[in-house]
Amino acid sequence: MRNWIKKHLLTVIMVAGLMVGAGLLLYPSVANYWNSFHQTQAIMSYSDTVSTMDTEDYEKLLKEARAYNKRLGESGINWNLTDAERDEYNKMLKIDDSGIMGYVSIPKIHVKLPIYHGTEEAVLQTAIGHLEPTSLPIGGKSSHCSISGHRGLPSARLFTDITKLKEGDTWTQTILNETLTYEVDQIRIVEPEDLSNLTIEQGKDYCTLITCTPYGINTHRLLVRGHRIPNANGDANLTADAIQIEPIYIAPFLSMPILLALLVLLILTTRRAKKGGTENRVSSYLEDRDLKL
């Protein structure tokens, strides 16, 4: 075994390097695809569950959520929830035990993401979360919901491209069978402890998307606020900007020439090694018999 390893050491090293390189190059694309698949499944499952809900149960959930937001609009946001208040919050818009309460669609950056109760790390690794003390994401006068998501994760896009949003861009959020459209009207970068831009303004219907910034450093928070606007033609059909090819999908194609070059080099090296071994055996045979070519 040792002799075989010594004899094929270069080949083993190159094959190992090829496999490691392929894994590193393909991991972001494969991981993102896998997470996108599960996000889509979660959204489809949510829509199916909502569509089969009893009308009475549906109306009850919606009524409770609207009453919850109305109460917050009158009292203001309490940033330190008690256990009882958190238990009440977790029952709002709850259609099953998954924790999903709806989904957000941002056409400009080509993402559709499920929204879950709370912003625990387990949620933010694969989806986006509703900031607990803020208004529920069903809108209404004197409401301001906040939705948080990571950016820059190697395994999921999430809010990675949210910096591309500009004032005037729109997104939608679908809660139960209600689809709300928001138009970006303010973009701020603040300290993590600065909550002043997330408060409720009387008569306003706001939603703010939150992520970390600068990219990879995460010392501040990027706040993209939108105000509620009427849905186009009574629905949420929006025309996306020109299609952009995302780098995460280009990576595999850029990696292929590199992998092909390594494979060709591996084949040539192996064949050269075999040829050299054959020539050495012929030379030794001739030398043993005092012969010359």
Is residue 290 situated within a structural domain? no
Query: How many domains does the chain contain in total?
Result: 1
Which stretch, 36-45, 177-186, 214-223, 235-244, has highest mean pLDDT?
A: 177-186
CATH of the domain at 232: 2.40.260.10
Do the domain assignments include residue 126? yes
The 3-state DSSP class for residue 216 equals coil
Q: Judge whether 15 lies within some domain.
A: no
Read off the pLDDT of each residue in 219-231 and give the average, rounded to a whole number. Answer: 96
Q: What is the DSSP letter of 76?
A: -
Question: Does 74 map to a domain?
Answer: yes
Question: DSSP strand E in the chain: where?
Answer: 100-106, 111-117, 128-130, 143-148, 170-175, 178-190, 205-213, 220-229
For residue 79, the enclosing domain spans 52-236
Vertex 155 angle, CA 151 and 157, to 5°: 40
Classify residue 63: in a domain, yes or no.
yes
- Sign of the alpha-carbon dihedral angle for 285, 287, 292, 293: positive
> Does the residue 279 lie in any domain?
no
pLDDT at 1: 63
What is the predicted pLDDT for the residue at 2?
Answer: 66
pTM of the entire predicted model: 0.72
